[in-house]
Structure 1
Amino acid sequence: MITRFAPSPTGPLHLGHAYSALLAHDMARSAGGTFLLRIEDIDQSRARPEWEAQIYDDLEWLGITWDTPVMRQSDRLGSYRDVLKQMWWDGLLYACSCNRRDIQEAASAPQEGAVNYGPDGIIYPGTCRNSVTDRDHYPSEPPPDKALRLDWSTFPKGALEGLSFQETGSGNDEKHRVDLDHLVRNVGDVVLARREMGTSYHLSVVLDDAAQGVTHVVRGEDLFDATHIHVALQAGMGLPTPVYNHHRLIRDNDGKRLAKRDDARAISKYRTDGASPNDIRALIGLTKS
């Protein structure tokens, strides 16, 4: 068993991070497996060295150890770029110049009907895909100044035949089918490279999990819908599909899931107030047996 914890260095770790990291760590260690740490710093506009240093410090304080080396996404931009080029040459991507307002207005147009939402927000209405009339005269290289979207209409349908993934989280142990029609209707053409990053979460997480040999992905249940995207990408690229464990979310007193802005529930705040690692485990319901 190989699990991982993959935080972004854009703010303090909070109780939700503690739950996810401890759960993945405990699963791997109890099985005699490997626990890995990955720093998801593709958003260089928000990533900060001090937050990365705080991640290491908080995890060590919690008693979490990881097998080295630590993977940093900012060191893997060339790998993402190579895959995007191949997908571009294979006709799986198209360039998109739409901003959020453009998408909102297009999706809200009278002829589109009700606005539908997917894992990434409003489902993209296909504005730029529909404007492509001659792919044979597309530039040979993907344009760096535009987002790159996955075109489900050109995705190899055979790659998804009989495709499913195993879910073990939240007391469930069942397989979930990955269906192309579902992806088209309920997900839309997702962004695989943002113009300011050169990649996206969907692409990098799939490539990174494969590169690290992750066998069991442990993450919040809010990412369950995105897993259908990731498993489809794995199949399309001939990569193995891990087992998934989508765990419950740690929420505040109003029932909202915790975010980086919830400094009151930052691990460092509890540490400053005198809490122990076992106190944190008790707060999130992961007491050691």
Structure 2
Amino acid sequence: MSARPVLRFAPSPNGELHLGHAFSAMVGFDMAQHLGGRFLVRIEDIDTTRCREEYVTQIFEDLRWLGIEWEEPVRRQSEHFTTYSAASDWLLKLGLLYPCFATRSEISEATELNPHLTDPDGTPLYPGLHKNLPKEEVAVRLTRNEPFALRIHMDRALDALERITGARTVTFTELDGAGHPQHIEMNPADWGDAVIVRKDVPASYHLAVTVDDARQRVTHVTRGRDLYAATSLHRLLQAILGLPEPIYHHHRLLTDGQGNKLSKSARDTSLRSLREAGVDALQIRQRVGLASNETAANGT
């Protein structure tokens, strides 16, 4: 691990940043300053069809406006597909991934049989289509260049986890709002056979973020509470890939007047529009509930 704590803010450039992003960035930046650590910005642009360069530029403008400073160079996921492929190749070699050729409609039709079986995000659990295809059929489909994702064979992955750690569950350290450590136990099996490599790019969010945090020697992962459950899958990958375990802090989420999480798709008030309206960084801190002298450890 790095001699100094390392924290990061990792937005996706597929829309304008909003107040929720400002809160997350400031929580991480404040914690880095409080710990005497380093602060990084990472551009999570593996979705090359939705991410746009103009949003990358805007992210940097928004962060500077908020008074946030970061180290250069900025890591961009789209420049490291070979790194993610190396990780997935290792998982394949271990027999922990399998190709899934199923279409969305096929998966949707199959999950209708058990609509109440869902993952922590509320998505119907993958019903195991193509999990046990004969090698000969897989070879034929690959020869025909049929699109496929790589899913984790959760039963085998848990077997591997047990050989490594002696348990079929994972643990991690979570800092609460006051900065006190809590030791959490979770079951990765709740995610079922999750997608580790998407059909369109050689990674998924889960694989890329796990590899990137290790590559950048991130010691403290600060992110929204909506990603809390995903930590079990990330810890599973860390254990199997032999990657270090960071400390986590999942901060509260900002919501609109109806209690819904702020989102890009809902066109919530963007930082760009606030900046152009003459709002300053101190006013943003006040709006999201972070006083100017407040750190992430005691202010979320």
Normalised to the residue count of structure 1, the TM-score between the two structures is: 0.91
Contact 1:2 1:215 in 2 (8 A): yes
Counterpart amino acid of 2:61? D
SS at match of 2:231: helix
1:56 aligns with 2:74: no
Q: Distance in 2 between matches of 1:11 and 1:89?
A: 37
Kindly indicate whether residue 207 of structure 2 is the aligned counterpart of residue 226 of structure 1. no
**Match of 2:230, SS?**
helix
- Aligned residue pairs total 281
Structure 2: how far apart are the matches of 1:230 and 1:160? 15
Structure 1 residues 3 and 144: CA distance shift in structure 2, 3 A: farther
Q: Deviations over 1:4-63 (max 9, x none)?
A: 000001111100000000010011012211000000000000111100000000000100
Q: Distance in 2 between matches of 1:45 and 1:120?
A: 25
4+ aligned runs moved over 6 Å, structure 1: 141-144
After superposition, the CA RMSD in angstroms is 2.2
Give 1:104 shift. 2.2
Give identity over the alignment, percent.
Answer: 39
Alignment correspondent of 2:116: 114
> How far, CA to CA, are the matches of 1:108 and 1:213 in structure 2?
42
Q: Out of 60, 66, 70, which is 1:66 matched to?
A: 70
- Superimposed CA distance per residue, residues 173-232 of structure 1 (whole angstroms, 9 cap, x where no aligned partner): 311124xxx322x21011011111111000000000000000000000000110000001
Cα separation, 1, equivalents of 2:80 and 2:176: 29
Q: Answer yes or no: is 1:104 the counterpart of 2:105.
A: no
SS at match of 1:225: coil
Name the CA distance, whole Å, in 2 between partners of 1:238 and 1:144: 32
Question: What's 2:291 paired with?
Answer: 287
Report the counterpart of residue 298 of structure 2 in structure 1. Answer: none
**Structure 2 residue corresponding to 1:169, chosen from 176, 199, 206:** 176
CA distance in 2, matches of 1:113, 1:82: 35
TM-score w.r.t. length of structure 2: 0.88
Q: Match for 2:133: what amino acid?
A: V
Summarize the alignment of residues 32-47 of structure 1 with structure 2, pairs less than 5 Å apart.
32-47=36-51
Give the deviation of 1:256 after TM superposition: 0.3
Work out the CA distance in 1 between the residues paired with 2:21 and 2:172: 24
Match of 2:133 in 1: 132
SS of the equivalent of 2:54 reads helix
Instruction: Give structure 1 stretches of 5+ with no counterpart.
Output: none
Query: Conserved in 2, the CA contact under 8 Å of 1:146 and 1:195?
Result: yes
**Residues in 2 aligned to 1:92 and 1:19: alpha-carbon distance in whole angstroms:** 37
Is 1:158 the equivalent of 2:159? no
